[in-house]
């Protein structure tokens, strides 16, 4: 029965295999599932950061590129992740295009990358 359900789900939903491994001609810095934009995002919107309980962290709001427009995502409270630190959303410009990286968790025992140090300034 499980095999039949699996086959039906594949037939209905489809299946795709996508390789995200960078090739020799791909620049891993600009490789992103988000579209490159022609302009920097607007200034961040003002947010009221709530009082955080133990084990919580604030994820600041950020602009994300969607269909050629910067869309605001409101900040939110989330649980901390032991052994990790939160990296806020960031943007970098290369070749006249602006590239977006969403908020993410990074192992706390790793030293920051130069791009992460610049984003924190």
- 16-25, 52-61, 63-72, 99-108: lowest mean pLDDT where? 16-25
Tell me whether residue 86 is in a domain: yes
- Do residues 93 and 40 lie in contact, with contact meaning Cβ atoms separated by under 8 Å? yes
Tell me whether residue 13 is in a domain: no
Q: What confidence score (pLDDT) does residue 16 get?
A: 38
By percentage, how much of the chain surpasses pLDDT 70?
A: 66
**Distance between CA atoms of 103 and 86, rounded to whole angstroms?**
7
- Do residues 39 and 98 lie in contact, with contact meaning Cβ atoms separated by under 8 Å? yes
Other CB atoms closer than 10 Å to residue 24's CB: what's the count? 4
Q: Alpha-carbon torsion 79, 83, 88, 94, what sign?
A: negative
Closest of 63, 103, 61 to residue 84, by C-alpha: 103
Q: Is the pTM of this model over 0.75?
A: no
Tell me whether residue 35 is in a domain: yes
Domain span at residue 73 reads 30-41+55-121
Tell me whether residue 49 is in a domain: no
pLDDT above 60: residue 87: yes
Tell me whether residue 5 is in a domain: no
Tell me whether residue 90 is in a domain: yes
Number of domains observed in the structure of the chain = 1
Tell me whether residue 23 is in a domain: no
Tell me whether residue 9 is in a domain: no
């Amino acid at each position: 029965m499980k095999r039949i359900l699996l086959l039906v789900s594949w037939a209905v939903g489809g299946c795709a295999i996508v390789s995200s491994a960078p090739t020799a001609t791909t620049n891993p810095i600009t490789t992103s599932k988000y579209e490159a934009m022609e302009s920097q995002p607007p200034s961040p919107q003002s947010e009221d950061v709530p009082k955080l309980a133990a084990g919580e962290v604030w994820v600041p709001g950020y602009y994300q590129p969607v269909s050629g427009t910067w869309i605001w995502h409101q900040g939110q409270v989330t649980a901390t992740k032991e052994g990790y630190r939160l990296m806020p959303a960031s943007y970098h410009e290369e070749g006249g295009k602006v590239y977006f990286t969403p908020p993410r968790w990074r192992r706390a025992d790793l030293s920051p990358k130069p791009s992460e140090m610049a984003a924190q300034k």
